[in-house]
Amino acid sequence: MRSKIPYFIMIPSILSVIMFMFYIIFGDHYIGHPITISFFITITILLFILDSIDDLIFRRKIKFLTEKKRRQILEENEGNYFFIFYKFIFHDPKINQEVKRIDHGFDGIIELDNKLPMWWIHLFYLTIVFSFIYFFSYFLTDFSNPYKEYEIAYKKQLKEIEIFEKKTPQVTIANAFFNKKFIDSGKILFEENCATCHQSDGSGNIGPNLTDDYWINIVDKNLFKNIFSIIWNGSKNNPTMRAFGESGEIKGNDIQKISSYVYFINTKSKKPIKSKTHQGKKIMDWN
């Protein structure tokens, strides 16, 4: 008769296998869900009940053994569980048998047919079992499927962006301000959205030169706010310069960055070598 594996090894092992299967099938979607938690609590209670039934049967069975045998089994039961586990994995009763020799006869070479070690065989079976679990979970569930994982991560990120944008209010003309830190990112945005008409250095093309002191549109006494306002509302007298902010094409925060870049190229002393001729009125006394 085999000795009994104690409950504090058996139950956690079975539980972890069930949890692993649960994770493979459902992923981490339902981990904190009350139903999941009660499911695992129920399973734990069931395992305890099963174990006590098993314990009862075990005690019943050893009652019919001789005193000596009973003591032997009970002693085995109380031993070092790691050693029992070690024996289960590595011990093979056949290992001590004599090594089989295969005699090829004709060349005088004798081949030794050694038994494979137990740990190797157990590992081999484990890989087969795992490959089945993995195979079915890969094809029947979303586990480890890169396309599904990508989709989930992508949706999650979109949601995070949405939440972020809702939480952080966009800058408006009322609270926009110039910041040196925005110049670099503003330059990139300017090249993407404005360079077709104004050139990437702001020297002008279809749209006017933005680096000189001449302005067609004067809607604010402050230079930075004037720039912000034109980008937000567009030009009243030429629809080619459209209302980027009002139409929602560019968000307030990005307009603040672009405006910082335009403000920077307009106020810095080094002007582009070639630029479009002045248009509008010369304004020097900005606030």
228 binds ligand HEC (CB under 6 A): no
227 binds ligand HEC (CB under 6 A): yes
187 binds ligand HEC (CB under 6 A): no
Of residues 140, 230, 169, 224, the one with CA closest to residue 194: 230
User: Which of 16, 144, 196, 247: binder of ligand HEC (CB under 6 A)?
Assistant: 196
73 binds ligand HEC (CB under 6 A): no
Range 25-31, long-range pairs (CB < 8 A, 24+ positions): 25/137, 25/141, 25/143, 26/141, 27/141, 27/142, 27/143
User: Which of 62, 235, 252, 253: binder of ligand HEC (CB under 6 A)?
Assistant: 235
183 binds ligand HEC (CB under 6 A): no
231 binds ligand HEC (CB under 6 A): yes
Q: Beta 110-113 vs 100-103: how paired, if at all?
A: antiparallel
| Nearest-approach distance from CB 164 to ligand HEC, in angstroms | 23
| Nearest-approach distance from CB 219 to ligand HEC, in angstroms | 9
User: Which of 191, 216, 252, 271: binder of ligand HEC (CB under 6 A)?
Assistant: 216
User: Which of 173, 176, 183, 194: binder of ligand HEC (CB under 6 A)?
Assistant: 194
Measured in degrees and rounded to the nearest 5, phi and psi for residue 130 equal: -65, -40
Q: What does DSSP assign to residue 261? A: H
| Nearest-approach distance from CB 253 to ligand HEC, in angstroms | 13
Name the residue nearer to ligand HEC (CB basis): 152 or 189. 189
Q: Which residues in 96-155 contact ligand HEC (CB under 6 A)?
A: none
258 binds ligand HEC (CB under 6 A): yes
Instruction: Report the distance separating Cα 218 and Cα 239, nearest Å.
Output: 16
Measured over the CA atoms of residue 35, residue 12, residue 88 and residue 54, the dihedral's sign is negative
Class of residue 19 by CB neighbours under 10 A (exposed 0-12, middle 13-18, buried 19+): middle
Residue reference for tokens 């039961």 = 77
Which H helix or E strand runs over 215?
strand 214-215
CB atoms within 10 A of CB 211: 22
Residue ranges that bind ligand HEC, judged by CB under 6 A:
190, 193-194, 196-198, 206-208, 210, 215-217, 227, 230-231, 235, 237-238, 240-241, 244, 258, 262, 279-280
